[in-house]
Amino acid sequence: MSCIYCNHYILYKLKDGYYKCAKCKRKFSPKKIERKAKILKGFLDELTPTEISKKYNISYATVVKEIKKIRILIAQICEEEFLKKQNIKEFEEYFYIPNKNLYKAQNFLTIDYGEKVYNIMLSSMKNYKNFSEEEIKRFFRQSRIIKIYEKTTIKNFWLYFNGFIKKFKGVSEENFFYYLKEAEFRFNKFEINLSDLIKRI
């Protein structure tokens, strides 16, 4: 076993079960690392928090807490991958309307940057709460953001996203961004490893 932070091979075992690295002086618990690894594996296998909790005998609250951390890291990875290239081919605005309720719609811009997608959240529908549905539709038809040539990658992502988001029984406006980024991460086939999760979150 080596240090999870710096990979140094000299470790000291402490009385509380933790290990301390001789080089970077940081402490870690092998049991907690193993638990994180199991939750990450379950998440990447698209198991629900309940399924992960039952499969690995980990408390539901702990699973939910760790998945929140994973989604934060996923959003960071999506941002970093996009900034590496920024080879924007085309983009188009999309409205996700849950249960046909326009006032709860989520508005975002999908960018194709070389058969990968990157999504940016746009204006909240809270800004239009005093508008009628017809006024809202007319406004967005007139102000639609679009630069499309082929649309293939963007359309494929939207189809994927709609199937992905239906698996969840309602997503709050506050958390929608992280679910969108998770869909983006999975669609782009990006990778995440345990070391990144431990070091960065």
For residue range 110-161, list pLDDT tens digits in order. Answer: 999 988 999 999 877 666 666 676 765 665 655 554 555 566 899 999 999 9
Residue 9 belongs to some domain of the structure: no
Q: 186 is in which domain, residue-wise?
A: 85-200
Asked whether 102 and 139 are in contact (CB, 8 A), the reply is no
74 belongs to a structural domain? no
Q: Is residue 35 part of a domain?
A: no
Average pLDDT, the chain: 86
Residue 5: what pLDDT?
87
The answer to whether residue 54 is domain-embedded is no
Q: 110 with 158: CB under 8 angstroms?
A: yes
Distance CA 7, CA 10 (A): 9
Residues recorded for the chain: 201
In this prediction, residue 126 carries a pLDDT of 65
Total Cβ atoms within 10 A of residue 143: 9
Q: Does 131 fall in a domain? A: yes
Q: How far is CA 94 from the centre of its chain?
A: 18
- Look at residue 22 and tell me if it is in a domain: no
Q: Please write the tens of the pLDDT for every residue from 166-194.
A: 998 888 888 999 999 999 999 999 999 88
Residue 99 has pLDDT above 90, yes or no: no
Cα 168 to chain centroid, rounded? 14
CA distance 145 to 133: 19
102 closest CA partner among 135, 75, 80, 78: 135
Q: What pLDDT does residue 149 have?
A: 58
Q: 43 lies in a domain?
A: no
**Among positive and negative, which fits the CA dihedral 160, 162, 167, 170?**
positive
Single pTM value for the model: 0.83
**For position 43, what pLDDT does the model report?**
95
Q: How many domains does the chain have?
A: 1
Q: In the numeric block, which tokens belong to residue 121?
A: 């959240």
28 sits in which H/E element: strand 27-28
Residue from 161, 166, 69, 72 nearest 119 by CA: 161
Mean pLDDT to the nearest integer, 85-99: 81
In this predicted structure, the answer to whether residue 60 has a pLDDT above a threshold of 70 is yes
- With tokens 């509380």, the residue in question is 16
Q: Is 76 helix (H, G, I), strand (E, B) or coil?
A: helix
